[in-house]
Amino acid sequence: MRTRFLSFLAGATLATAPSVLHGQFGTQQQPVVVRPPPPITAIDDIRHLSDDKLGGRMTGSAGADSAAAYLARRFEQVGLQPGAGGWFQTFTVAKQAPVAQSARVGGMVGRNVIGLLPGHDPTLRNETVVVGAHYDHLGLGGFGSLDPDSTGKVHNGADDNASGAAMLIQIAARLAQSPPARTVLFIAFSGEELGLLGSAHYVKNPVYPLSSTMAMVNLDMVGRLRNGRLIVYGARTAKEFPALLDSLNWHAGFDLKAQGDGYGPSDQSSFYAAGRPVLHVFTDLHDDYHRTTDDWEKIDPEGFRRVTNFTLGLVTALADRPTRLTPVDATPPVHSSATAMPAYGTYLGTIPDMTDNPGGVRLLGVRAGSPAEKAGLRGDDIITRIGELDVPDLQAMTNALRSHEPGDTVSIVIRRGKQVTTVRATLGTRGG
């Protein structure tokens, strides 16, 4: 609201300037002024995409198709060209896919939206940097929702991930003013919430060869910067990344947590599995994550602006650097599909701190009314064991929860300060 209001004022100032020049003092006559429409801001884009009218943008729904059409229009407005196959790359959700049953999306058609900014260098323009953000969300809940009674209610997904899609547009607009050496490919993915379907489809059917795709930068949940803390995953997927991120942050001044391999639970995983260096820019989880309360009013415009500038610097540096990156070989984790897909079976209701690994899973907090809360867990607790399984990290915790059924009562060992305690929790069900 604030950004929109300011842009309106800026327009008004320009538009009324001519009346001063004409100096019609003492007469009733006023010059006729045509006021240009105020520019579309990032907050306007987020509001549009996370409006109830789009119904939560579940892949294959009318709301998702409307969002795809809107994004293609915005890409064109800010100066992108359609990709080699057009603005849309479609894929069909396999009827036998694990999500097809639970989310009732088997046979549905998803659309990736692809916009291209050709590079200016005659040689380097044959290489691409991909900037991606998923625009699909959880629709009317049930599948994937963390609100137990949310089925039938619109999950607007303003931060997850209208924010990333809007940032894609901002970065495209700014880069189009002065294109870098390499070609930049902007992709708004669908099917992410169903298990990275759109990005997986893209890497199998790339519009420009993956061998000449230098890196993929993923924007997923970038609208809620708190305490200046910015997370960038994938920093170890190219040798040059740590130093590059450090130097960019010298000016940006974030509390930057650059860490992790490339197998995080978002679209960068698909590109990393295909051997490309990846980075995922992220302003961290919050209480509204995958709930009906992830609304546009909670986006922080100033933080969004800062993260946009940082990411613009990052993409520019990648697209302009004279040499290619040095990918760091990665052995896929044993449970790569488990990493990519959150567990939708059992539900504990913890909010893990994804930036810290103290030899267990540190909690930022627990969800109200959740099994975790009922068991007495709270923020700063470090979970080290669930049932029969040690929990050294988040992946192990996901696996431990998956080894149980909803309704099971499990013992959970935690460190709380200097104490080691065991609590018992009765696991619930995720989704509907």
Applying CB under 5 A, among 160, 294, 295, 381 the residue interacting with Zn ion is 160
Residue closer to Zn ion (CB basis): 160 or 261: 160
| Sole window of 47-55, 155-163, 372-380, 400-408 interacting with Zn ion (rule: CB under 5 A) | 155-163
Q: Which of these, 85, 180, 178, 93, lies nearest to 131 by C-alpha position? A: 180
Residue closer to Zn ion (CB basis): 160 or 267: 160
| Sole window of 86-94, 156-164, 230-238, 312-320 interacting with Zn ion (rule: CB under 5 A) | 156-164
Least distance from C-beta 162 to Zn ion, angstroms?
A: 11
By CB under 5 A, how many residues form the interface with Zn ion?
1
Q: Does 147 bind Zn ion (CB under 5 A)?
A: no
Residue closer to Zn ion (CB basis): 288 or 353: 288
The answer to whether residues 131 and 176 touch, using CB atoms and an 8 Å cutoff, is no
Residue closer to Zn ion (CB basis): 127 or 160: 160
CA angle 196, 258, 206 (to 5 degrees): 30
Residue closer to Zn ion (CB basis): 41 or 292: 292
Residue 61 CA to residue 81 CA, distance in Å, equals 25
Q: What type of residue is 147?
A: D
The answer to whether residues 134 and 220 touch, using CB atoms and an 8 Å cutoff, is yes
Least distance from C-beta 161 to Zn ion, angstroms?
A: 7
Residue closer to Zn ion (CB basis): 87 or 296: 296
Residue 92 CA to residue 152 CA, distance in Å, equals 24
Residue 280 CA to residue 131 CA, distance in Å, equals 10
| Sole window of 20-28, 49-57, 160-168, 267-275 interacting with Zn ion (rule: CB under 5 A) | 160-168
Least distance from C-beta 193 to Zn ion, angstroms?
A: 5
DSSP-derived letter for residue 407 is T
Residue 311 is encoded by which pair of tokens? 């990411």
- Residue 45 burial (CB count, 10 A): 22
Least distance from C-beta 223 to Zn ion, angstroms?
A: 13
Q: Which of these, 262, 241, 233, 213, lies nearest to 114 by C-alpha position? A: 213
Q: Does 284 bind Zn ion (CB under 5 A)?
A: no
Residue 252 is encoded by which pair of tokens? 């940006």
| Sole window of 157-165, 240-248, 351-359, 424-432 interacting with Zn ion (rule: CB under 5 A) | 157-165
Which residue is closest to Zn ion by CB? 160
Give 159-176 as a 3 state SS string.
Answer: HHHHHHHHHHHHHHHHHH
Least distance from C-beta 357 to Zn ion, angstroms?
A: 22
Residue 39 is encoded by which pair of tokens? 């520019």
Residue closer to Zn ion (CB basis): 157 or 180: 157
Judged by the rule CB under 5 A, the positions of this chain that interact with Zn ion are 160
